[in-house]
Structure 1
Amino acid sequence: MGENVQTTPVMAHAGRKLRPRAWGLALVGIVALVLSPNLVLWSTSSGYGGVDADDNWIDNGGKVLETAPVTVQVEGHVAPAALALLLLVVVVGIVLPPTLARSGHRALGDIVRYSAYLAVPVCIVVGVLVYTVWQSQVVMDQVQHEVLHPHGFPWGGVTVTTGHMTR
């Protein structure tokens, strides 16, 4: 009865500490570079006229034109500034932690890398939302008011194609 029993915790910590790795950030940077030039977030087009009952070209006010009315097509792409910011976050998250670890600040390096892992989706989501809302409001308004060369978001990715209607 007077036995002395010693116990050890069942969930004892063993093995390596979970650390954020640079390859995950590098993968995000590569995917962003490969996919972004081909990603169209939104598009709109409009024709500034049409054809009347006598098969004459007319503008939106009904005035007869001698040539076909103008058409405008606008495509919104990923903003280069948003892509540059994303890549800056990735590069800092890859390069800075080893530098800090060499100078004896390994914990600070881990914080930087964790912050980079958190900042990447924030940059993507906030960038896409701000850019899409801005472009859809400003550019759509310009297209509806028959502006031939709509102005996109500053440093934004907008492709404007003008042409003429065909019958």
Structure 2
Amino acid sequence: MSVDRGAPVSHMGENVQTAPVMAHAGRQLRPRARGLVLIGAVALLSYPTLTMWSASSEYGGTDGDGHWIDNAGNPLSSAPPTVNVEGHTAPAAIAVLLLVVVVGVFLPPMLARYGKRSLGDVVRFAAYLAVPVVVVVGVLIYTVWQGHVVMDQIDHEVLHPHGFPWGGVTVTTGHATR
């Protein structure tokens, strides 16, 4: 017996109305561009505060008579050098973060125009995941580098410490004052 959906069916003398059974038509979980822009903006605003630091050192001072000495206590004819290092966000890290957000916002609509909407959703989900990863990895690498390499150079009285290879430090040298 062939049943036409929605047509009345007679079953054991009763008239029964049938209707097609359908799954609940809920909202499909799709990543939105405005959420990615918001997360990217928060990351861009918080990243510089997470990577700012400074350290300074004087490589000497004065003895009890007011004469200049170096850190070993040897007399100097002029004021000992000083170094001040200020760490800041590496421009390359900001560029990578911006690239992730821009790709995650603009590539999915282009892919959807060419019939690859699901691939665009994957790209946007990946961008949502990549933003915090870029920030956390960037802060960890930067902090470890600055904490070990730059501070070691300052401790060894290097007047021009080298920061993270993509930038991130401003070095100012001078001389101690009384």
Match 2:82 to one of 53, 63, 71:
71
Structure 1 letter corresponding to 2:39: V
Structure 1: unaligned runs, 5 residues or longer: none
Q: Distance in 1 between matches of 2:81 and 2:95?
A: 35
Does 2:72 correspond to 1:61? yes
**What do residues 68-98 of structure 1 show as CA deviations (whole Å, max 9, x unaligned)?**
2111111221211111111111111011100
CA RMSD of the aligned region, Å?
2.4
For 1:118, the equivalent position in structure 2 comes to 129
Instruction: State the alpha-carbon separation in 2 of the partners of residues 15 and 46 from structure 1.
Output: 63
Between the aligned residues of both structures, percent identity stands at 70
1:134 counterpart residue number: 145
Partner letter of residue 128 of structure 2?
Answer: Y
In structure 1, give the amino acid aligned to 2:162: H
Aligned length: 161
TM-score by length of 1: 0.85
Q: Which residue, 7, 26, 31 being the options, matches 1:20?
A: 31
* Rg comparison, structure with higher value: 2
Greater mean deviation of Cα atoms: 26-35 or 149-158: 26-35
Identify which of 157, 165, 169 aligns with 1:158.
169
Q: Which runs of 5+ in 2 are unaligned?
A: 1-11
Deviates more, 1:76-85 or 1:91-100: 76-85
Residue-by-residue CA offset, 1:126-156 (whole Å, 9 max, x unaligned): 0100111011101011101111110111112
